[in-house]
Amino acid sequence: MPALVINLRRAVGWMTGVLASATLTPVLAASTCDGPAWPFWQDYATRYVQADGRMLESSLKANHSTSEGQSYGMLFALVANDRERFDRLWTWTAENMTGADPSTRLPGWLWGQGEDGSWKLQDANSASDADLWIIYALLEAARIWQHPAYRNDALALLKTVESRLVVNLPGLGKMLLPGPEGFVQPDHLWRLNASYLPVPLLRRLAREEPAGPWKEIADNTAKLIDASSPKGFIADWVGYRGTSPKTGLFVVDPVTGELGSYDAIRVYLWAGMTPASDPLAARLLARLDGMAVSTASSGTPPEKVQVMSGASQGQAPFGYSAALLPYFQAKGQTWLAEQQQRRVEAGVSTALARDPTDRTEPAYYNLMLSLFALGWVEKRYQFREDGTLKLSWETSCPRAATR
């Protein structure tokens, strides 16, 4: 059979789920019940999510879109029981970033206007953290809203992730690459990113596929953090070098060195949101203690840390304070959580009051971290030990699945 025919059939099968979701949107919206309002998400979505489901803001260029932003938006829409917007976010992502065949294509990470003036996918390389968040949001939307088409889409993407991004590192075992291109270096060196590996997401994937690699990847994520955080801080990027076919060790990343900053702040966020009953929770919090010590000493988180020496510099933006709220709560440091939450609330208020075209201080990342943290602190969502979501609105919606 000609390859073109096979690809067209795959495309039709893939887009059937997406189009089914899109055509069902009015019915879905009508069938949902109203849970507690989430004004923060509604304000953010009104400003930055187009009617077609594209999130406009990014940390790079105004009005560019990233797979990360789309994936986070899907999660927040689910947390808010914002079913119609969830559907639009996913439909736009599938049509514009993922392509027609999830068995061979991962979401490209950057979409926007190119130098030639055309609006299209600007970088087809994927970001595996966004891939996992998309899969996670689809799995949980399928379960909670009882909409199986989302699960079908999630499993198609999950299969592609497992085939293209999961590697077996010598002396370590299964690990997730940050993307398909650029992370396997010469001389048996792999570049890894702990912020791409939230333990609750890995637990949810392990629940979906008990025989898959995800429990092992969760265990190896803890090993990564253990081995590369001697002063209680984690770097943005960590290297792993194979020293023989059966041995290897974690090393300082050859590209960014021992810097912990923009990416790494999410590792503390994920550790704080990991349920206390998870076997890895206490271990992660204990190993990442440096950020608590530094923030308690200075009153604000450091913007940059050299993780091998513990030397820090700069005052971080309010989004970093947001990322640390669950972390401080999980560590029982409520006074630090309260102190940083005041800073976060002031920062959010200022950012949302600013004209969206004002790029002097891009709002995207600070507000995304704040949505994650404040939604969790306000108990709009929590993660169960198996990675599933516990949502504040589920008890008021009889059709929602609670387990």
Please tell me which residue in 57, 68, 236, 263 is annotated as part of the active site: 68
Q: What is the pTM for the complete model shown?
A: 0.91
Q: Which two tokens stand for residue 357?
A: 């075209």
Q: Give the pLDDT score at 162.
A: 97
Q: Give the pLDDT score at 397.
A: 77
More confident residue, 349 or 359: 349
Position 56 pLDDT exceeds 90: no
Please tell me which residue in 87, 101, 129, 140 is annotated as part of the active site: 129
- What average pLDDT does the structure give for the chain? 90
**What DSSP assignment string belongs to 98-153?**
I-S-TTT-PPPSEEEE-TTS-EEEEE----HHHHHHHHHHHHHHHHHTT-HHHHHH
Position 31 pLDDT exceeds 50: no
Percentage of the chain exceeding pLDDT 90: 80
Residue 99 has φ and ψ, to the nearest 5°, of 80, -175
Q: Give the pLDDT score at 99.
A: 76
CA separation for the pair 93, 107 (Å, rounded)? 8
Q: Quote the Cα angle for 284-155-33, to 5°.
A: 85
Q: Which of 125-139, 214-228, 250-264, 386-400 has the lowest mean pLDDT?
A: 386-400
Q: Give the pLDDT score at 360.
A: 67
Name the CA radius of gyration of the chain, rounded: 20
Structural domains in the chain? 1-164 (1.50.10.10)
Q: Give the pLDDT score at 54.
A: 96
Q: Quote the Cα angle for 85-79-133, to 5°.
A: 80
Position 234 pLDDT exceeds 80: yes
Q: Give the pLDDT score at 309.
A: 97
Position 25 pLDDT exceeds 80: no
Strands 173-176 and 166-169: antiparallel
* pLDDT tens readout for residues 92-148: 999 999 876 666 789 999 999 888 889 999 999 999 999 999 999 999 999 999 999
For residue 166, list its beta bridge partners: 176
More confident residue, 299 or 357: 299
Decide: 215 and 270 in contact? Cβ < 8 Å.
no
Whether 68 is a known active-site residue: answer: yes
Q: Show Cβ contacts of residue 179 under 8 Å, excluding neighbours closer than 6 positions.
A: 109, 125, 126, 127, 128, 165
